[in-house]
Amino acid sequence: MNRTNIGSLIVIALFVLALPEGTDTAKILCFFPTASKSHVLGAQQLLKNLARRNHEVTMVSAFPLSKPVPNYRDIYIPIEDSFSAMMADFMQGGSRSIATIMPKVLSASLDYTNFTLNSPEFQQLIAKERFDVAILGYFLNDFIFGLGALLKCPTVVYFSAGMSQINNVVGNPQEIASVSHILLGNRNPMTFFDRVKNTLVSLVEVGVLGYVHSKTKPYYYYNFPSEKGYPSYEEAKRRIPLQMFNWYFTQTAPRPLLPNTVEVGGLQIKSQPDPLPTDVQTWLDGADQFGAIYLSFGSNLKSSNLRRDKLEAIIRTLGRLKQRVLWKWDTVHMPGKPANVMIGQWFPQDDILAHRNVKLFITHGGLGSITEAMYHGVPIVGIPMFGDQDRNVADVIAEGWGVSVSFEELGEASLTAAINRVLSNPEYANKIRDISARFKDRPQSALELATFWVEYVLRHKGAAHLHYQGADLNFLQKNLLDVLAFLGVILYAVFKLIGFFLRGILVLICGKKEQPKSKKA
Ligand SMILES: *[C@@H]1O[C@H](CO)[C@@H](O)[C@H](O)[C@H]1NC(C)=O
């Protein structure tokens, strides 16, 4: 045999070895009821990859693919977007307090999910068809955990963010002493007072989770009534073998995770960018001299809803720059659009951030955007608007690869200063280069990893062996309080017994009633 033959044999052998063993092609359902497109993007990439591997994939969501893909079917269930009024209010500078937003977001999420679940399209689908595994898109809608019993198949939970209240579904330990709460941002190491704060926030969270639980339960029992043989809400949660988070440990301080919690941070990011639309490509290629800036408030907030003074300040600032700007703008026309600004209602953000000439990303600081900027090594100017965006942007500043301008202080002077600071100071770009390298350096890509685990659950028929017993324990059991109490009682009884016998022996030896030792001496 000559060298080429051996070479090709090795290639074939490697190829055969790389094929998943024993995974037949399967029918995979993804149930993802949300009004927020950015949450769905990662799941879409995963499903496309599963479809490429010959699985038959069905996506139930409000966001069908723009271009059809073989083996990938969309069940399109549009949901009335009750978030849009809230989003428009943020762009006007309305209240961003978590206490007012949270109940609204929760009830909208619960209603979307309930609506999708009860839609004729979905009901017809599950009446006709069986699935081998279901991927459940999570967003404050815990009652979807009942879908496993409805569909009679194993389920994998996917959440497009990181640390959250579903961390504990599979029993991940909540290390209050050493892991900073999601609301407090990335703190490592924590000082004594950080730990005090962490403790207080975690206590408040217990109350909040109780509230969420009480709101969610009626939806669960409406859709999965016990009379019809469905497991209880608590039991349904316990049956989840695996959860995936769109999050990677380099984005925060290390924390303990079980093997059934898989970090697929950057799942939505393509390792090889798609070709850009021609006009965008030309625009960015032509920015060789000064570079280009990408500006987007994400998939939910509409730039055209910005309060007028803020909008005009941004437009004036951009118009004075030498850089070319791409602005995700949601209407056809932008009043007073400067010549160096190109607008578009939809831009492939991931592919744009991958372009060599993009030097700065002006962003609202949504997790998806922050992750994509991190992956592609683009420093940011953050204008956080609501939810986790304040924290995301604060983390970026702490890590040294961006600056922020709050909505309140947003004006021509502050924005110009922020942009110039990031563009003229190489520190920011250098910093994000290192952080990007750390984020990308993994044994396999997020997409390969997520694909592996979905197929793993398929291969092992639900992979019940992934279940962690810690998830079933109550507070007393988890903290060993019951065991300590039991041992305490035994210890007490033993001491009592020993005392009793010693007294008995003393009585035998001395032959009389026990007396104080001093008298004997
Ligand atoms: C869920 O949706 C159904 C059907 O639209 C409705 O009848 C029911 O009241 C909803 N459940 C809750 C808890 O809102």
Residues 151 and 181 reside in one and the same domain: yes
In a domain, 179, yes or no: yes
In a domain, 505, yes or no: no
Q: In what order do the strands lie in the sheet with 324-328?
A: 341-344, 324-328, 292-296, 358-363, 380-382, 402-404
Which range of residues forms the domain containing residue 338? 278-440
Is 403:424 a contact under the CB 8 Å cutoff? no
Residues 294 and 388 reside in one and the same domain: yes
Residues 314 and 422 reside in one and the same domain: yes
pLDDT value at residue 388 = 84
Residues 292 and 212 reside in one and the same domain: no
Mean pLDDT over residues 290-299, rounded?
A: 94
Residues 343 and 385 reside in one and the same domain: yes
d(CA 29, CA 261): 20
- How confident is the model over 37-51, as pLDDT tens digits? 889 999 999 999 999
| Ligand 1 atom with the shortest distance to the CA of 114 | 1
pLDDT value at residue 90 = 84
Collapsing DSSP to helix, strand or coil, 197 comes out as: helix
| Ligand 1 atom with the shortest distance to the CA of 219 | 13
Residues 203 and 306 reside in one and the same domain: no
Kindly list the protein residues whose Cβ atom lies closer than 6 A to any atom of ligand 1. 114, 118, 218-219, 222
Residues 263 and 308 reside in one and the same domain: no
pTM (2 decimals)? Answer: 0.86
Minimum CA distance residue for ligand 1 atom 13: 219
CA of 43 from ligand 1 middle (Å) equals 26
Which of 111, 141, 143, 222 for a ligand 1 pocket mutation test, highest count of atoms within 8 Å of Cβ?
222
In a domain, 490, yes or no: no
d(CA 437, CA 441): 6
In a domain, 481, yes or no: no
Please state the separation of Cα 301 from the chain's center in Å: 19
d(CA 268, CA 98): 27
pLDDT value at residue 161 = 80
Number of domains in the chain: 2
Residues 143 and 292 reside in one and the same domain: no
- How confident is the model over 92-107, as pLDDT tens digits? 888 878 788 888 889 9
Q: In what order do the strands lie in the sheet with 261-263?
A: 72-76, 56-61, 27-32, 133-138, 155-159, 242-245, 261-263
Q: What percentage of the chain has pLDDT greater than the value 90?
A: 71
Minimum CA distance residue for ligand 1 atom 12: 219
pLDDT bucket at 437, cuts 50 / 70 / 90 = very high
- Name the residue type at position 366: G
In a domain, 283, yes or no: yes
In a domain, 49, yes or no: yes
- How confident is the model over 109-119, as pLDDT tens digits? 999 999 999 99
In a domain, 479, yes or no: no
| Sequence-ordered strand ranges (E) for 7-163 | 27-32, 56-61, 72-76, 133-138, 155-159
CA of 131 from ligand 1 middle (Å) equals 25
Collapsing DSSP to helix, strand or coil, 519 comes out as: helix
pLDDT over 90 at 491, yes or no: yes
Helix/strand/coil percentages in the chain, nearest 5: 50, 10, 35
CA of 114 from ligand 1 middle (Å) equals 6
CATH number for the domain that contains residue 229 = 3.40.50.2000
Residues 304 and 175 reside in one and the same domain: no
pLDDT value at residue 393 = 94
Q: Which helix (H) or strand (E) holds 344?
A: strand 341-344
- How confident is the model over 339-377, as pLDDT tens digits? 999 999 989 999 999 999 999 999 999 999 999 999 999
Query: Which residue has better confidence, 154 or 174?
Result: 154
In a domain, 5, yes or no: no
Minimum CA distance residue for ligand 1 atom 2: 114
- What is the sign of the dihedral through the CA atoms of 149, 34, 397 and 296? positive
CA of 218 from ligand 1 middle (Å) equals 9
Residues 258 and 390 reside in one and the same domain: no
pLDDT over 70 at 512, yes or no: no
Which of 77, 113, 114 for a ligand 1 pocket mutation test, highest count of atoms within 8 Å of Cβ?
114
Residues 43 and 83 reside in one and the same domain: yes
Q: What percentage of the chain has pLDDT greater than the value 70?
A: 93
pLDDT bucket at 506, cuts 50 / 70 / 90 = very high
d(CA 403, CA 121): 46
pLDDT value at residue 455 = 97
Is 205:189 a contact under the CB 8 Å cutoff? no
CA of 181 from ligand 1 middle (Å) equals 34
Residues 369 and 457 reside in one and the same domain: no
